[in-house]
């Protein structure tokens, strides 16, 4: 459908209206805030722990979630792009899809760069892309907002809310504000050079090993990264004797992640695991499969890493040490 736009006096007006039909999750970004929260909405769709099925000795019983409709309110473009990425990865996963189908996504445009973010460098912001949200909020002034309905689901959620249609000049103003925000982002040459070096296999192996020595295998980066989707499973016995299988978030930076039953481990060294992680985030092969890189430029890894090997730190070292082909 064609995008429809309206005037809104304040996001709370929309929030109060949606609360009649949806469970409202806490705002991911407060009006006027430009820094993404430390925790992304990933866990609302891909649960950190969840039951998959139980076995009573005779029958397997699937335990699909059955959530009520809920709204992720005020999600920034980087996280919405990540949800779109996860939608592809979990396209055939009934547990993820049971939640995703009940979710209403309300995005909010960023109008100034955040400290560690680089969403324009990886085509993930700062303006919310229509295909990643059901509704989009854009602040025009302290007392005036634009509200864009991107699809039929978003438009249907507005039923019963009195809104006036927006005019084209305000829509043009939105484009101008987003373009102005992009121009304010810091120089990203180290990111581009680092990505090129990774894909040309020009990163010295000893650099990967040095980075591996700094990795504490704490999983902070993989837990906070909105596109990380590694998981493991385990079985637990209930008090009545039934067996329950659970799924839980895992991390490719754990030493045991790829260890096989034979004890062979293709990523035994920490440097190999760090290399694998960044190759997954910026590898051209993964970009071909998912239509984009696995990094959305939120910068959370830079904020949380105690070993100082977040994205900016790593890419600056790679761009400094790598020998790129002309």
pLDDT in tens, 219-251: 999 999 999 999 999 999 988 989 999 999 999
Average pLDDT, the chain: 94
Question: Which of 128, 114, 119 has its CA nearest to residue 175?
Answer: 128
pLDDT of residue 32: 55
pLDDT tens-digit readout, 87-107? 999 999 999 999 999 999 999
Question: What's the rounded Cα separation, in Å, for the pair 188 and 204?
Answer: 21
Closest C-alpha among 126, 76, 74, 82 to residue 100: 82
Model pLDDT, residue 1: 86
Each residue of 110-133: pLDDT tens digit? Answer: 999 999 999 999 999 999 999 999
- Residue 184, helix vs strand vs coil: coil
Long-range CB contacts for residues 241-244, cutoff 8 Å, separation at least 24:
241/56, 241/57, 242/54, 242/55, 242/56, 242/57, 243/54, 243/55, 243/56, 244/51, 244/53, 244/54, 244/55
What does the buried/exposed string (b/e) look like for 26-36 if buried means 16 or more CB atoms within 10 Å of the residue's CB? ebbbeeebbbb
Residue 142 in this model has a pLDDT that exceeds 90: no
pLDDT surpasses 90 at 212: yes
CA-nearest of 259, 326, 292, 263 to 84 is 292
Long-range contacts at 89-93 (CB < 8 A, ≥ 24 apart): 89/229, 89/290, 90/45, 90/46, 90/229
The three-class DSSP label of residue 210 is: helix
Residue 163 CA to residue 11 CA, distance in Å, equals: 13
Beta bridge partners of 24: 71
pLDDT at 325: 54
- Looking at residue 30, its pLDDT comes to 56
Instruction: List the structure tokens of 291.
Output: 């239509």
pLDDT value at residue 27: 58
Q: Is the pLDDT of residue 159 over 70?
A: yes
Nearest alpha-carbon partner for 55 in 239, 234, 245: 245
């Amino acid at each position: 459908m064609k995008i429809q736009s309206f005037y809104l006096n304040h996001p709370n007006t929309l929030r109060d209206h949606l609360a009649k039909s949806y469970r409202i999750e806490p705002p991911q970004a407060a009006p006027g805030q430009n820094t993404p929260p430390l925790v992304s909405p990933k866990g609302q769709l891909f649960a950190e722990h969840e039951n998959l099925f139980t076995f009573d000795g005779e029958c397997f019983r699937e335990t699909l979630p059955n959530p009520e409709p809920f709204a992720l309110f005020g999600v920034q473009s980087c996280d919405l792009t990540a949800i779109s990425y996860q939608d592809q990865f979990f396209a055939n996963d009934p547990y993820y899809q049971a939640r995703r189908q009940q979710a209403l996504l309300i995005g909010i445009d960023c109008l100034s760069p955040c400290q560690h973010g680089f969403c324009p460098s990886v085509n993930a912001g700062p303006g919310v892309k229509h295909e990643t949200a059901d509704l989009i909020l854009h602040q025009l002034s302290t007392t005036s907002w634009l509200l864009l309905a991107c699809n039929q689901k978003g438009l249907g959620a507005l039923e019963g809310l009195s809104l006036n249609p927006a005019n084209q000049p305000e829509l043009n103003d939105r484009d101008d504000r987003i373009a102005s925000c992009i121009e304010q982002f810091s120089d990203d040459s180290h990111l581009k050079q680092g990505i090129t070096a990774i894909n040309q296999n020009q990163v010295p192996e000893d650099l990967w090993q040095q980075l591996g020595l700094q990795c504490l295998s704490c999983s902070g980066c993989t837990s906070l990264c909105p596109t990380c989707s590694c998981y493991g499973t385990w079985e637990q016995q209930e008090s009545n004797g039934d067996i329950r299988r659970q799924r839980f978030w895992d991390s490719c930076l754990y030493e045991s992640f790829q260890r096989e039953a034979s004890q062979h481990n293709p990523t035994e060294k920490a440097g190999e695991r760090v290399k694998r992680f960044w190759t997954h985030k910026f590898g051209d092969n993964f970009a071909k499969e998912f239509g984009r890189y696995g990094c959305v430029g939120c910068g959370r890894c830079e904020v949380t890493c105690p070993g100082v090997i977040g994205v900016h730190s790593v890419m600056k070292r790679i761009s400094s040490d790598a020998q790129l082909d002309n």
